[in-house]
Amino acid sequence: MCGIVGAVAERPVNRILIEGLKRLEYRGYDSAGVALSEAGTLNTVKAVGKVANLEAAVAESGVSGHTGIAHTRWATHGGVTEVNAHPHISNNEIALVHNGIIENHESLRAVLKDDGYTFLSDTDTEVMVHLIHQLRQQHNSLLDSVKAAVKQLEGAYGTVVFDKANDNEIIVARSGSPLVIGLGLGENFIASDQLALLAVTRNFIFLEEGDVARITRDTVEIYDINGEPVEREVVESNISQDVSGKGEYRHYMLKEIYEQPMAVRNTLEGRLDGDRVSVDAFGDQANQIFKDVKHVQIIACGTSYHSGMVARYWLEQYAGVSCNVEIASEFRYRESFVHENSLLVTISQSGETADTLAALRLAKEQGYMASMTICNVPGSSLVRESDLAFMTKAGAEIGVASTKAFTTQLVGLLMLTASIAQEKGRDQSVIVNAIKTLPNKLEESLNMAEGIEALAEEFADKHHSLFLGRGSQYPIAMEGALKLKEISYIHAEAYAAGELKHGPLALIDADMPIIVVAPNNELLEKLKSNVEEVRARGGIIYVFADKDSNFASDDTMRVMNVNHVEDIIAPVVYTIPLQLLSYYVAVIKGTDVDQPRNLAKSVTVE
């Protein structure tokens, strides 16, 4: 979500800040702003819309500075306006950017107003900057003022502050929203994600919960949650810097759809040994944990939740362990039952998803035998805070609608299923042998693009749609529906096909396309009956079916053939045509495919 970049340097930092924001823009893009300090002058430039608008505004203003902070916003409190864009300023002295939500902003605002502070914005964030300004009058340093201020804050923040009177330092604080310090030579940086800083450094310090730090050009001082000085490890990043190019593709999403065979190959590389999984891919203790595990509790949000739902079918059928899957924002606010020898598995592309992280922290107090994450970002909070981690190797995913992160999560979950089966002495070779065919099978399914592009024309004027699947394809139908609504803004619902007659059949008419995911498995005949129920009521059906499933196109049915795949990997393969369908419908409708309205990547707020 909101992107933060800050720098304290000898050279002007304008370019570094703007370039950093561009790399984070996919995380929040309703407005952006920068505050720069030079020779005791504080300048702020803000713009509604994309970072390009801010870039133009900064160029036009001619402002520059050797210390600065910048932000792309995904609004939580207050509309999308220039005034509400960050940085927020107090008394033309202190500038601040913030990622998160201050839950007690109303009471703080009331007190600060009584004390004479004037609020310009509707944001929760503005209370922070005035509070720090007020405390600055009572403390010797900005560092101490920030330390005192955070004690009064409830909610979540990653925040960066500087005072124009002493602009050789920036103060940062983290609680609930990630921040990473980038170390340069005679210059230092801060960002909400290392991606923002890859052009200027490879050396990072990931701040931990409750940390406050003072950063100057040459020094970094970190204080832990108790205010005690601490040393944090410096990590050298090997993430590729090249995340910005779309190459020959019109959109990041299309590029990322086509990268899936390679992303799956990379995720598998070095992790299979004959027809066995190298359990080390999950971490040191994995063997013993997988031997002992009796139950798996999966926690995730959005697309990652759908991958967890697929895994439930796999784990119960092939590994013989029971499995529950729950949305993180539900799990974290209820009292749940912890089964004996239960492994907690979180799934998140970014590893910073606020609800999932909070659920992990809660679960760690509840007696799970171990925690594990399936994640795409090394060094992220979920990876650092879990006992085991399986890193997907999807590479940076820039399109807000997740594609390659999802399919590589499924690969991680297949590997988990095979690993647990293996450690329990079950036959895992059927899974491993099917996994090995996946990259080629995904390539074959990409060949469907042309036909799907033509089919997409029929969806462009539709307002509603229904996705159907059975068994492990039901979550794939849910993921297909999510993709379509995310990027084309067509209302899409998914149902387990057997549920149709319990309600949704009432919706069927010729204006409501029905998309059916139909691999050739033991549920095919049941699914065909459900399709006939729809046809009998005038519905138009679009079937993605195995070549041998014997569906025939006619006036009320369009059949898109998918090459035959082993049933266990069918959910991964059938994901591709649904992604392509959403993509082409969105292109025809002319929506912003990579940055759909109201959404953002890496959901770091509740």
Q: Which residues of this chain interact with ligand HGA, rule CB under 6 A?
A: 1-2, 28, 73-78, 98-101, 123-125, 604-605
Rounded-to-integer distance, Cα 44 and Cα 39, Å: 14
Query: Which lies closer to ligand HGA via its Cβ, residue 176 or residue 308?
Result: 176
- Cβ proximity to ligand HGA: between 25 and 479 the closer is 25
Do 268 and 435 meet the contact criterion of CB atoms below 8 Å apart? yes
Query: Are 192 and 206 a contacting pair, CB within 8 Å?
Result: no
Nearer to ligand HGA, 90 or 604 (CB): 604
Tell me the residue number closest to ligand HGA, measured at CB.
1
Pick between residue 100 and residue 412 the one whose CB is nearest to ligand HGA: 100
Minimum gap (Å) between residue 98 Cβ and ligand HGA: 5
Measured from the CB atom, the residue of 101 and 358 that comes closer to ligand HGA is 101
To the nearest whole angstrom, how small is the minimum distance from the Cβ of residue 161 to ligand HGA?
Answer: 15
Minimum gap (Å) between residue 47 Cβ and ligand HGA: 15
| Contact yes or no for 154/128 (Cβ under 8 A) | no
Residue 178 Cβ vs ligand HGA, minimum distance, rounded to whole Å: 11
Q: How many CB atoms lie within 10 A of CB 435?
A: 26
Q: How far is the CB of 462 from ligand HGA (least distance, A)?
A: 32
CA distance 407 to 309: 13
Is residue 474 a contact partner of residue 600, using CB atoms and an 8 Å limit?
A: no
Residue closer to ligand HGA, measured from CB, 177 or 373: 177
501 annotated active-site: no
Closer residue to ligand HGA (CB): 103 or 115: 103
List, edge to edge, every strand of the sheet that includes 169-175. 88-90, 94-102, 155-163, 169-175, 212-216, 220-223, 229-230
Smallest distance, ligand HGA to C-beta of residue 591, A = 22
Catalytic-labelled residue, pool 164, 255, 441, 601? 601
Strand, coil or helix: what is 185?
coil
**Choice between 88 and 393, CB closer to ligand HGA:** 88
* Rounded Cα gap, residues 550 and 572, in angstroms: 22
Nearer to ligand HGA, 156 or 319 (CB): 156
User: In the bound complex, what is the minimum distance in angstroms from residue 97's beta carbon to ligand HGA?
Assistant: 9
Q: Any idea what DSSP says for residue 484?
A: H
Q: What is each CA distance from 282 to 85, 231, 373, 413, 542, in whole angstroms?
A: 41, 28, 9, 11, 39
DSSP class per residue in 487-518: HH--EEEEEEGGGGGGTGGGG-STTS-EEEEE
Report the C-alpha gap between 35 and 12 in whole angstroms. 12
| 599 within 8 A of 400, measured Cβ to Cβ | yes
Helix ranges restricted to H, 137-277: 142-152, 252-258, 260-268
The CA-based angle 492-495-499, given to 5 degrees, is 145
**Rounded-to-integer distance, Cα 53 and Cα 40, Å:** 26
CB of 604 to ligand HGA, least distance (A): 6
d(CA 589, CA 585): 6
Q: What element of type H or E holds 553? A: none
Nearer Cβ to ligand HGA (172/391): 172
Could you give the CA distance from residue 110 to residue 375 in angstroms, rounded to a whole number? 41
The amino acid sitting at 426 is R
Q: How many angstroms separate the CA atoms of 87 and 121, rounded?
A: 11
Number of H-type helices and E-type strands within the chain: 18, 27
**151 included as an active-site residue:** no
- Least distance CB 372 / ligand HGA (angstroms): 27
Nearer to ligand HGA, 101 or 396 (CB): 101
Nearest residue to 403 (alpha-carbon basis) of 255, 266, 519:
255
Of 2, 301, 323, 375, catalytic = 2
Q: SS3 of 334, please?
A: coil
Structure tokens at 581: 């369908």
Query: What distance, in Å, lies between the first and last C-alpha atoms of the chain?
Result: 11
CB of 95 to ligand HGA, least distance (A): 14
Rounded least distance, CB 124 to ligand HGA, Å: 5
Largest CA distance in the chain: 79
Burial (CB < 10 A; 0-12, 13-18, 19+), residue 210, is middle
Containing 203, the helix (H) or strand (E) segment is: strand 203-206
Contacts of 181 (CB under 8 A, 6+ apart): 172, 188, 189, 190, 204, 205, 207, 213, 215, 220
Q: Quick one: how far is CA 313 from the chain centroid? A: 24
Kindly list the catalytic residues. Answer: 2, 601
